[in-house]
Structure 1
Amino acid sequence: MLISEIFYSIQGEGELTGVPSVFVRTSGCNLRCRWCDTKYASWNPQGDEMSIAEIFARVDAFPATHVVLTGGEPMVAKGIHELAQRFREAGKHITIETAGTIAPEGIACDLASLSPKLGNSTPLEGEIAEGWRERHEKARLQPEVLRAWIERHPFQLKFVVEQSSDVEEIEALLDRIGAPIPPHKVQLMPQGTDLQTIHGREESLIDLCKRRGYRYCHRLHIALFGNTRGT
């Protein structure tokens, strides 16, 4: 497997915020989000080839019961099913952070952290290789795949929001998914990799959450460590 990084930190987003976790970041992605903060694992995949046994040994050396499989897009990684099963057999809690474009067939997962990509993610003309903008736009939302994840695994839905009007696209997608989704399972996260940008968007998102019953998703790791790798 091509692995970008493995590190021990605390979960910075979602329902498990603050929980000590080992992060396994696979390298490679089927999308090209304009604001991606891990382009070294998506736009320009970098990393080391590691066997499942090597990955497991690195993870098991840390005193954590929670493991986060992230990316890039971990569901496109060769060997991801075998790796997740190895963690399941070891009694680890497995969070899979995914855009929800790949079906969850046969994957061991205790929390599906689904982050469907809104229109604000599509790269601009001229900033990416020819063809990728169209590929991204075509692939970024897969309502039937999202419904399969929601029906098979405990889940949370995290949306990266730039402006209040993004909620219209979110709610249209929730209707298209067609599965019961309690409002508190929908998390609105401000787009940004620095506190100034995040603070500039959080007031409007908090207001949306109060009016719609959604959950505000803070980016604790940015507040604690800044936008740095291995955190």
Structure 2
Amino acid sequence: MPCTFIRLAGCPLRCVYCDTTQAIPTDSGEWMAMDAIIAEVKQRGRPLVLVTGGEPLAQKQCVDLLKRLGQLDCIVQLETSGAYLIDQVPDVIHRIVDIKTPGSLEVQRNRLENLALLTANDELKFVITSRSDYEWARQFIDQYKLENSKATLLMSPAFGS
């Protein structure tokens, strides 16, 4: 499906497998006003919009951007590290929330409160760097009874970490 990709700069995490280190500094990329972003999305007219980062929820106006995008005639997805609460993200937004595994070296950043906020419209993603990450993820799924989660569970391998 054709997608308009919105990458917000800035991320306080330092996952060892980060594939977008150029987006870590908050001053990376090109600054655009929210109205300009919305206009660009409308002009492109694609059926899918993905907001990612860096860590999008680290940006003060991200939720406002998501609210405005959610009013458009398209599917809007948010990819987030799981280090920020998703409680202010509108339910119309398809949230893809990471659970950081030990191999990320950011496991302490997981906001477990997010688990209760997930809906059938959402995905919970584990990035797996090793067999031990896989076993950790399985234990996590069991511990938090995520096999019954409304959200789709994903495991994504990380290479070269």
TM-score of the two chains, using structure 1 as the length reference: 0.61
Cα pair 1:112 1:153 within 8 Å, conserved: no
Quote the Cα distance in structure 2 between the aligned partners of 1:101 and 1:172: 20
Letter aligned with residue 170 of structure 1: A
Quote the Cα distance in structure 2 between the aligned partners of 1:174 and 1:144: 15
Matches within 5 A, 1:65-214: 65-108=47-90, 109-122=92-105, 136-139=106-109, 141-145=110-114, 147-150=115-118, 152=119, 154-178=121-145, 180-181=148-149, 185-192=152-159
Quote the Cα distance in structure 2 between the aligned partners of 1:51 and 1:99: 24
Give 1:75 deviation, angstroms. 1.1
**SS at 1:67 equivalent:** strand
Give 1:148 deviation, angstroms. 3.3
Instruction: Give the fraction of aligned pairs with identical amino acids, expressed as a percent.
Output: 27
Give 1:39 deviation, angstroms. 0.6
Give 1:176 deviation, angstroms. 4.3
Cα pair 1:100 1:114 within 8 Å, conserved: yes
Structure-2 change in CA distance of 1:173 and 1:144 (3 Å)? farther
TM-score of the two chains, using structure 2 as the length reference: 0.85
Cα pair 2:100 2:126 within 8 Å, conserved: yes
**SS at 1:170 equivalent:** helix
**SS at 1:61 equivalent:** helix
Is there any run of 5+ residues in structure 1 with no aligned partner, and where?
1-18, 123-135, 198-231
How many residue pairs are counted as aligned between the two chains?
158
Task: For residues 179-200 of structure 1, give each alpha carbon's deviation from its aligned partner in whole angstroms, at most 9, with x where no partner exists.
Answer: 5327x9222222127xxx9xxx
**SS at 2:76 equivalent:** strand
Quote the Cα distance in structure 2 between the aligned partners of 1:149 and 1:98: 14
**SS at 2:38 equivalent:** helix
**SS at 2:35 equivalent:** helix
Letter aligned with residue 49 of structure 2: V
Q: Which runs of 4+ in 1 moved over 3 A?
A: 175-179
2:32 to 44, 50, 60: 50
Quote the Cα distance in structure 1 between the aligned partners of 2:95 and 2:30: 25
Cα pair 2:120 2:152 within 8 Å, conserved: no
Quote the Cα distance in structure 2 between the aligned partners of 1:149 and 1:23: 25
Quote the Cα distance in structure 2 between the aligned partners of 1:31 and 1:96: 17
Task: For residues 4-60 of structure 1, give each alpha carbon's deviation from its aligned partner in whole angstroms, at most 9, with x where no partner exists.
Answer: xxxxxxxxxxxxxxx211110001113111110101112x34122221101111222
